[in-house]
Amino acid sequence: MTTIDATTLETFRQRRSLGARVSDLAAEIGFSPWQKLDKLIRHGLPAKSKQETVSVPIPIPRLPAEAFTSAYKPRSVADILGQPQVRAALQTFVASPRSSAMLFTGPTGVGKTSAALALAVELGCELDATGIGGVRVIASGEQTADSVRQALNQLYYTTLRGSGWKVIIVNEADRMHPAAETIWLDALENLPSKSVVIFTTNYAERLSDRFRDRCMTLEFEGARNALGVDARRLLAFVWRDCTKQEIPSRVADQIITEATDSKGVLSYRRLLQIAERELLTKGTQVP
Ligand SMILES: Nc1ncnc2c1ncn2[C@@H]1O[C@H](COP(=O)(O)OP(=O)(O)O)[C@@H](O)[C@H]1O
Ligand SMILES: [Mg+2]
């Protein structure tokens, strides 16, 4: 006999909200009648008994408290998967950093934004100290002349927290307003000390030659052939972390195939989203 506790119930509540049937969930842990489980999911455990005794033949995954793409993102340059050339270039940069503009190109979901954030951390910026830790992210669609001017201004001030390095990350740089581009073109040639500006884009060809010439370009790989080995490692890690079990290789194959588009481009973002969905909706009984 084992117990059903509040955490398990919470996992079931999430899985039900994603479409899992309570009768299936009940069958999974041998709980009968399923209506009783439904009641527990809806109303929680009775106050006096914080645990309900049931037999649990199948382990229930324990998922992180945040989306998989947040929980399992690279925390340092060394953690960036499937991009050995990018990783090596960034490690060399961290060893002798200087003010620079960089352009991270490549398909979606292969680590461009994560790598920019990991680089900022390695330069000593504090990501948690919003606004004062040295990192500023300009979201796509917000690249007006004003937002660029504001961001550039901040490069001239000392940061309140962190090492003093300042990193501006501009996502989806191809969407920038022409007026914003003009300002960047001017500024990138004369960046203040301890300043790095990183542009990311899925469509490098949409940027002007003049703009690209001012940046050091790092190309991120997207081909399944190149990313597959690390994709499998990531899945194995996530699966073990959530279920304490090894991922069946058939399941890993299916997830990698689903995360690959018709052109053979694999997205780690999609891979994590699919793994999260599978663990939430089917538990360890995938598929
Ligand atoms: N190269 C990678 N190594 C490790 N995790 C990755 C990698 N690429 C993507 N991910 C995962 O996917 C999520 C989204 O990646 P992101 O860096 O936003 O991709 P992009 O900017 O290329 O679209 C990350 O938070 C991380 O969980
Ligand atoms: Mg991105």
65 domain-assigned:
no
Q: Is the CB of 109 under 6 A from ligand 1?
A: yes
- At residue 266 the predicted structure's pLDDT band, cuts being 50, 70 and 90, is very high
Mean pLDDT of all residues belonging to the chain: 89
Ligand 2 centre to CA of 105 (Å) is 10
Q: Is the CB of 108 under 6 A from ligand 1?
A: yes
| Token duo for residue 122 | 């390695």
Contacts for 259 with CB less than 8 Å, ≥ 6 apart: 231, 266, 267, 268, 270, 271, 274
What is the reported pLDDT for 57? 46
Q: Which of 196, 219, 242 is the last residue of a domain?
A: 219
Q: Is the CB of 72 under 6 A from ligand 1?
A: yes
The share of the chain scoring above pLDDT 70, in percent, equals 93
Distance of alpha carbon 67 from the chain centroid: 8
To 10 degrees, what angle do helices 145-154 and 178-188 make?
Answer: 20
What is the reported pLDDT for 237? 95
Ligand 1 centre to CA of 85 (Å) is 16
CATH code, domain with 103? 3.40.50.300
Q: 193 and 233: one domain?
A: no
- At residue 1 the predicted structure's pLDDT band, cuts being 50, 70 and 90, is very low
Q: From residue 217, how far is each of 1, 92, 133 by CA, in Å?
A: 58, 15, 25
Whether 82 contacts 176, CB under 8 Å: no
Q: 109 and 160: one domain?
A: yes
What is the reported pLDDT for 59? 65
pTM > 0.75: yes
Q: 230 and 215: one domain?
A: no
Domains in the chain, number? 3
Q: Which of 12, 34, 54 is the last residue of a domain?
A: 54
Query: 118-158, pLDDT tens digit by residue?
Result: 999 999 999 887 777 889 998 776 788 898 999 999 898 88
73 domain-assigned:
no
Query: 168-214, pLDDT tens digit by residue?
Result: 999 999 998 889 999 999 999 999 999 999 999 999 999 999 999 99
Q: 34 and 102: one domain?
A: no
Ligand 1 centre to CA of 281 (Å) is 23
Q: 212 and 252: one domain?
A: no
What is the reported pLDDT for 58? 53
The share of the chain scoring above pLDDT 90, in percent, equals 62
Domain that holds residue 238: 224-285
Q: Is the CB of 110 under 6 A from ligand 1?
A: yes
Ligand 1 centre to CA of 257 (Å) is 17
Residue 24 has pLDDT above 50, yes or no: yes
Q: 269 and 152: one domain?
A: no
Helix (H, G, I), strand (E, B) or coil at 259: coil
Q: What mean pLDDT comes out for the span 8-13?
A: 86
Query: 75-111, pLDDT tens digit by residue?
Result: 899 999 999 999 999 999 999 999 999 999 999 999 9
